[in-house]
Structure 1
Amino acid sequence: MSTALMNHPASISTRHEPIRVMVVDDSVVIRGMISRWIDAEADMKVVASLRTGLDAVNQLERINPDVAVLDIEMPELDGISALPQLLARKRDLVIIMASTLTRRNAEISFKALSLGASDYIPKPESTREAAAADIFHHDLIQKIRHLGGKVRRAAGASPPLAPVQERAREPLAKPAPAAAHAQTASMRRPFGTLAPRVLLIGSSTGGPQALMSLVTDLGPVIDRFPVLITQHMPPTFTTILAEHLARSSRRPAHEAVDGEPVKPGRIYLAPGGRHMKVGKHGSEIFIVLDDGAPVNFCKPAVDPLFTSAIEVWQGGIMSVILTGMGSDGMRGGKEIVAAGGSVIAQDEATSVVWGMPGAAANAGICAAVLPLNQIAPKLVRLFAGDRS
């Protein structure tokens, strides 16, 4: 029997109905583990546990999930083949691709994002690896909560119940109240008066697509200034992302190497599993990779890059915070602004998750909060001398 359906009716949403999750994986061990984690949360429930992509496609309308956790490698119909069929049947379905950390699976995950998947998550090689399983558990629950909750709010359904007890690893990032959103426009700061000498970018959930779109139009900036990016992403995935950024920007882009000089005309990407910082010796600016503890539950994290850059460029920093969960980048952004630099945040409407940029906007540190397609033109003008 390839299908194990849960007895949860796909009825019309009622107030506080939990996020409905469909788990699709050919491993009975993985399906069982993920299902237990989800059902332990008050604001979500498993409505189906399926073995193949074909099962998911055939039963989607009856199950009516909000979120699908979709394995890549499955018999009969694999995840990348099932993905467009699922979205054709339910356009607003949130699909989170799950795969082990191989180069092939990383490439497939990027392809899935281009085909409409909402996000990806790396699976541990073995469920016996306690630390890896713990990170997988935490990240999966947060992605389901934020992405599934956003779809519910967009559809006009009541938000799901908050968890009875949030995990110690990360507090629940609650949507900002309407009043806070209304205040952000009046909280905008003027851009720094010093000419920017570097562009720093931080991103997380939804970041790969946003970054590839952004760098496409940043040629005039990249040619004259260094661009340093921290994207929350594991090893192997950052290798592939750097290759995609090079193709999108038509400029050199690579994972940063410890000790290498920072030069104009290049994009430096924080490698998965290590924080990227910068240092200075005399007139030479160089990359510093840090294998320390996670910051803001992330490694790499945005804040270490932002704060280390102040020692090097002082007030000549232009920073951008793109879509992502949590608040990483907000504390570093505060320090950049205090040093005389500037922060731009992506707006809520174009963010997959308005956590990181929303935290910066509502902290009153942003000089601009812009739709994604307006950020690159704005940066080009600012680096050309515009200060407004």
Structure 2
Amino acid sequence: MNNPVKVLIVDDSALVRKMLQEMLSSDPDIEVVGTAYDPYDAREKIKQLHPDVLTLDVEMPKMDGVTFLRNLMRLHPLPVVMVSTLTEKGADVTFEAMALGAVDFVTKPKIDLTHTFEDYTQEICTKVKTAAKVTRQMLERQYQRYVAGKEVSQSKAPAAPATTQKTEQLSSQPIQFNRRHFKTTDRVIALGASTGGTEAIKEVLQRMPANAPGIVITQHIPAAFSLPFAKRMDTISEMSVHHAEHRQLIIPGNVYIAPGDKHLRVGRDGARYICLLDDGPPVNRHKPSVDVLFDSVVENVGPNAIGVILTGMGADGAKGMKAIQSIGAPTIAQDEKTSVVWGMPGETVKLGAADYILSIDKIAEKILQLAEK
């Protein structure tokens, strides 16, 4: 970068402010221009210091982070990385912040960081530099979607709670992995995402009917957040959304989201597709990894698959999309305009692995068209 990214740290904890300042200042491409102890202090510092990116605490006195973010996105959109607690409440607030236009989030740094300090520093520095590339236009579009969604939800009567599909008990016989594709008309949609993906996935699932083909999803997300994310998606989709379990049957009308600390694979039990959870090492520095999911789809679903890659930082999933395409299954990548970060879909396009490059609002329709063929 020619000029360092100017960051304002907003957190009510003096210790956390000091830790974040130390971490971010260790990167020569980042300049911490100031810190603020609450949203009112932050408002004045934004006027004085003109930061490129904010790190914003979720829970603060006087005004919580989401209320401040809502005002910020309405009046003066800035890229924001949320700093969230590892609790279900923290997860819910963080997802609300992502809906409002926050670019990404990190979990709250722990005081005892001796063995993870370097990894955490790398994570937050990378996310801040990525956030700096997000345009004001993108933030404004996301906020307008949020407002429109709120208006629609307020005009509708409360929906009935989604029914939970019971997991069929499966045989304990070992699963055979091979390249022979069974005669079955069942489609499996394999979807991967990272930065900005929680909202992009919501955009897709909101448009899928209750009888859509089974969907398996790998989203880069902390382990404590994947279950709340699955629950959140279950409330907005006509499909039943699950936090994937080992050997869970994949059937139409259901969505399976990878736990945040396990790889999700698609396996076989006879002619049936099932979820397999894998506690192996990270792949492409991620666990769960999109490439791990996509490779298993190539192995066990073949041409019955549809590969989809959404917004995300890095290249995880691009090679997997190429592999899916090479066996005759269709592939879809989110376009640059509607992606928060055009990393993973962009790398897919560079490889020539995207049969269709579409805006996020067109992807569900294309999936359904392809599934009918």
| Same fold by TM-score greater than 0.5 | yes
What's the CA shift for 1:230?
0.6
Match of 1:211 among 201, 221, 224: 201
| 1:212 and 1:244 in contact (8 A); partners too | no
Deviation track 1:106-131 (CA, whole Å, cap 9, x = no partner) reads: 0111111222322222124x231445
Q: Does 1:45 align with 2:24?
A: no
1:233 alignment partner in structure 2: 221
> 2: CA distance between counterparts of 1:273 and 1:129?
19
1:139 alignment partner in structure 2: 123
Equivalences for residues 208-287 of structure 1 within 5 A: 208-219=198-209, 223-287=211-275
Equivalences for residues 1-388 of structure 1 within 5 A: 16-91=2-77, 93-124=78-109, 126-151=110-135, 197-219=187-209, 223-385=211-373
> 2: CA distance between counterparts of 1:341 and 1:154?
31
| 2:36 and 2:45 in contact (8 A); partners too | no
> 2: CA distance between counterparts of 1:258 and 1:129?
32
| 1:122 and 1:136 in contact (8 A); partners too | no
Tell which deviates more after alignment, 76-85 or 312-321. 76-85
CA spacing shift, 1:131–1:338, aligned 2, 3 Å:
farther
What's the CA shift for 1:327?
0.4
> 2: CA distance between counterparts of 1:319 and 1:294?
21
| 2:267 and 2:273 in contact (8 A); partners too | yes
What's the CA shift for 1:311?
2.1
What amino acid is the match of 1:379? I
> 2: CA distance between counterparts of 1:50 and 1:154?
25
What's the CA shift for 1:282?
1.8
CA spacing shift, 1:153–1:252, aligned 2, 3 Å:
closer
> 2: CA distance between counterparts of 1:131 and 1:245?
34
What amino acid is the match of 1:100? T
> 2: CA distance between counterparts of 1:78 and 1:60?
17
In structure 1, the gaps of 5 or more residues are 1-14, 156-193
| 2:308 and 2:333 in contact (8 A); partners too | yes
What's the CA shift for 1:224?
4.4
What's the CA shift for 1:344?
0.8
Backbone CA RMSD of aligned residues: 2.2
> 2: CA distance between counterparts of 1:196 and 1:130?
49
> 2: CA distance between counterparts of 1:264 and 1:378?
17
CA spacing shift, 1:195–1:146, aligned 2, 3 Å:
farther
CA spacing shift, 1:152–1:210, aligned 2, 3 Å:
closer
2:149 alignment partner in structure 1: none
What's the CA shift for 1:244?
2.1
What's the CA shift for 1:195?
7.2
Tell which deviates more after alignment, 252-261 or 143-152. 143-152
> 2: CA distance between counterparts of 1:199 and 1:38?
39
> 2: CA distance between counterparts of 1:96 and 1:327?
21
CA spacing shift, 1:42–1:154, aligned 2, 3 Å:
farther
| 1:123 and 1:136 in contact (8 A); partners too | no
3-state SS in 1 of match to 2:366? helix
> 2: CA distance between counterparts of 1:291 and 1:30?
31
> 2: CA distance between counterparts of 1:284 and 1:87?
46
> 2: CA distance between counterparts of 1:202 and 1:321?
5
Deviation track 1:340-359 (CA, whole Å, cap 9, x = no partner) reads: 22221000000000000000
What amino acid is the match of 2:54? A
> 1: CA distance between counterparts of 2:323 and 2:53?
37
Deviation track 1:22-77 (CA, whole Å, cap 9, x = no partner) reads: 01112222212221222222222111112212210232211111100001122233
> 1: CA distance between counterparts of 2:91 and 2:118?
21
Under a length normalisation based on structure 2, what TM-score does the superposition of the two structures give? 0.83
| 2:249 and 2:273 in contact (8 A); partners too | yes
> 1: CA distance between counterparts of 2:5 and 2:115?
26
2:157 alignment partner in structure 1: none
Deviation track 1:164-207 (CA, whole Å, cap 9, x = no partner) reads: xxxxxxxxxxxxxxxxxxxxxxxxxxxxxx97721010001111
Percent identity, please. 36
3-state SS in 2 of match to 1:113? helix
Aligned length: 329
